[in-house]
Amino acid sequence: MKFSVVADTFARIEKISGRLEISRELAGVFEHATPAEAQSIAYMCLGYVRPPYEGTQFNVAEKTIMTMMQDLFGLPKSEVNALVDTCGDVASAFTRKASCQDTQKTVHEVYQSLLKIEAIEGTGSQQIRCEELYKLVCSVSHVEAEYITRIVLGTLRLGFSDMTLLDAWSMMLAGDKSLRAQLEYAYNVCVDIGRIARVVKESGAAGLEHIGIEVGIPIRPAAAERLDSAAAIIEKIGSCCAQPKIDGFRLQVHLDFSGHTKKYRFFSRNLIDMSGLFPDLVAELKSLPVKNIILEGEAIAYDESSGEFLPFQETVKRKRKHGVEEFAQELPIKLFIFDCMYYNGESLLDKTQQERRNVLMGLTKKENQELTPHVELIEERCFSSAAPMETYFWDLIGKGFEGLVVKKTDSRYQPGKRNFNWIKLKRQDTGSLSDTIDCVILGYYAGRGKRAKLGIGAFLVGVYNSTNDTFETIAKIGTGMTDEQWLEVKILCDRSAVVSQPSRVVCAKALYPDIWVEPTYVCAVRADNITRSPLHTAGKTADDLGYALRFPRFMSYRPDKNPQDATTTKEIADMYKRSSSLVEKEK
């Protein structure tokens, strides 16, 4: 397949707002691809050249391309800046000036060239990467060149997600979305979008049955619903088990001791490979009596002298590129294991919560459930009535925990699903919203008055509609931040700024920001309560008003979360109903 077919599809998709139509366009291009081409196209559709959990790092910045334009085309800096402003982005400006000659490169040739560019390392690597990029750009058409450049710059942003690819493959195979659930399960178990594409092309839907857990490839984590009291939980699921809720870094730990070399992989909640960040945990996990295993836990920084847990903002400092081992000594962490999805060659996904817990208990004979000095099984208690669970909850709050995660003892592990098999219980104040909401930044408004010099005066946030795979607005945040914080938000937003409203963002015209941002960054927001809104689109239908946050305040960024991990519209609706019920009871 010629890469021009892919580029032309990308160009058409950028003019489409409907997800169904986008899925049809994608189905068309995959229909005519070979299995190997389908794998490459799946990665490139999302702006990658390898699975997201492995990461794609071209390390070529827009400023570097702009400097290269000055050198290549003999343009003064002011003219380059003007050209970028006219074209709307660096990639378009760069390729407009490039001497493109369409040599009809194939998907395979373009993909291999991108792999070659990414692999360049060492002294002067950035300059060499830029030279190789320019050679590639000059060998294709202007349309192809623009999308290639955007992949390298990390600014592809076609307005659809991996879930849209699953819809496209279902349409390709069945003509409709009837295979979506089967495709999604395979992807939830094996989060390699390219591998799924290849299997679909090689073996059709039947091939999905053979996709299973593989140590080293992350599993999409299960998620919990929310309820506001122990009584509500018991009423909902009956007898259950409860574990402390820790405000730390959710980790998926893959250990493979079956070969000559012991292998360790650590993945974050958003499935980023963090294997190099925990040398202290690696040193201790070597002693586990297993052949291979996939564990799930929560890592949290703590004070060794007092044993007290540190805030999430401290824990996240472990996410760094340099001085990892030294910082591990300065900021020790403890990993609390709460689940096991794979053990000695066997998937445990279809085992009950109690059966999976028994496997974990079998790893240790110690009374305190400690596996190593810094790794231990999380505490678990079983309840059949609300009163003792309530007592346990407040005891944990007093010890610095966030609350409880309550689990049905007979529930199976469901990758990538949020349901009432797991329920979060966090501290609530009657009639108010004391829990934080995880929101996605969607754009910002130019500063006025004293904030004119900052260039930002407020920013728009939304929540995730998991049914429609869209982001719906829920608040404008314009107070409670220092000048430094405002500048930080602006810098982050500018990295993901786009010239027009992203196709997955649902927003009323009256709330359009001055600068749109591709949904990328998740932040924790606190508000007094949830209200109904005629403007905000979260949960809005033809018959019902939307939801909005009253007096929203920015609390912190959540770099461990993907946009799809944000609070959902359904959760907001449930929280509104519960808070409204509490207010009614007080009257």
> Within this chain, do residues 400 and 451 fall inside the same structural domain, yes or no?
no
> Within this chain, do residues 278 and 408 fall inside the same structural domain, yes or no?
yes
Cα distance between residue 321 and residue 323, in whole Å: 7
Identify residue 430 by its one-letter amino acid code.
T
Cα distance between residue 155 and residue 159, in whole Å: 11
Cα distance between residue 328 and residue 274, in whole Å: 14
Catalytic residue among 105, 245, 408, 490: 245
Looking at residue 369, its pLDDT comes to: 72
> CA angle at residue 253 from 194 to 393, to 5 degrees?
120
DSSP 3-state assignment of 250? strand
**Is residue 17 situated within a structural domain?**
no
> Within this chain, do residues 309 and 236 fall inside the same structural domain, yes or no?
yes
**Is residue 8 situated within a structural domain?**
no
**Is residue 550 situated within a structural domain?**
yes
> Within this chain, do residues 404 and 469 fall inside the same structural domain, yes or no?
no
> Within this chain, do residues 353 and 416 fall inside the same structural domain, yes or no?
yes
Residues 6+ away with beta carbon under 8 Å from 306: none
Contact 261, 428 (CB under 8 A): no
How many helices (H) and strands (E) would you count in the chain?
A: 20, 22
What φ, ψ does residue 402 adopt, rounded to 5°?
-80, -25
Told to judge if 509 belongs to the known catalytic residues of this protein, a careful annotator would answer: no
Using the 3D structure, point to which of 426, 448, 469 is the last residue of a domain: 426
> Within this chain, do residues 366 and 416 fall inside the same structural domain, yes or no?
yes
> Within this chain, do residues 497 and 396 fall inside the same structural domain, yes or no?
no
Cβ neighbour number for residue 466 with a 10 Å cutoff: 17
- CATH number (domain holding residue 454): 2.40.50.140
Cα distance between residue 356 and residue 354, in whole Å: 5
Looking at residue 584, its pLDDT comes to: 47
How many independent structural domains does the chain possess?
A: 2
Q: What is the DSSP letter of 156?
A: -
**Is residue 180 situated within a structural domain?**
no
| Closest by Cα among 283, 222, 285, 288 to 250 | 222
Identify residue 364 by its one-letter amino acid code.
T
Cα distance between residue 96 and residue 257, in whole Å: 52
Looking at residue 586, its pLDDT comes to: 44
> Tokens standing for 59?
């390390």
Contact 151, 44 (CB under 8 A): yes
> Within this chain, do residues 406 and 442 fall inside the same structural domain, yes or no?
no
Cβ neighbour number for residue 143 with a 10 Å cutoff: 17
- CATH number (domain holding residue 354): 3.30.470.30
Distances (CA, A) of 375 to 286, 450, 453, 559, 579: 12, 50, 49, 23, 38
Residue with tokens 């836990």: 297
Looking at residue 291, its pLDDT comes to: 94
**Is residue 391 situated within a structural domain?**
yes
**Is residue 309 situated within a structural domain?**
yes
| Closest by Cα among 155, 150, 158, 143 to 96 | 143
pLDDT means per 10 residues, the chain with 587 residues, are 96 89 95 97 95 88 89 89 89 88 93 95 88 93 94 90 95 95 96 96 94 95 91 95 92 93 92 87 88 95 77 74 67 91 96 96 73 88 96 89 94 94 76 75 88 90 93 92 90 90 93 94 91 94 92 89 92 84 48
Cα distance between residue 312 and residue 186, in whole Å: 32
- Enclosing domain of residue 270: 223-426
**Is residue 134 situated within a structural domain?**
no
Q: What is the DSSP letter of 386?
A: H
Using the 3D structure, point to which of 394, 426, 458 is the last residue of a domain: 426
> Within this chain, do residues 383 and 461 fall inside the same structural domain, yes or no?
no
Cα distance between residue 502 and residue 485, in whole Å: 25
> Within this chain, do residues 355 and 501 fall inside the same structural domain, yes or no?
no
DSSP 3-state assignment of 32? coil
Looking at residue 320, its pLDDT comes to: 66
Cα distance between residue 43 and residue 151, in whole Å: 10
Cα distance between residue 587 and residue 585, in whole Å: 6
**Is residue 34 situated within a structural domain?**
no
> Within this chain, do residues 450 and 556 fall inside the same structural domain, yes or no?
yes
| Closest by Cα among 251, 141, 117, 115 to 194 | 115
Q: pTM for this one?
A: 0.85
> Tokens standing for 312?
């999430």
> Within this chain, do residues 496 and 565 fall inside the same structural domain, yes or no?
yes
> Tokens standing for 421?
């098999």
Using the 3D structure, point to which of 426, 450, 468 is the last residue of a domain: 426
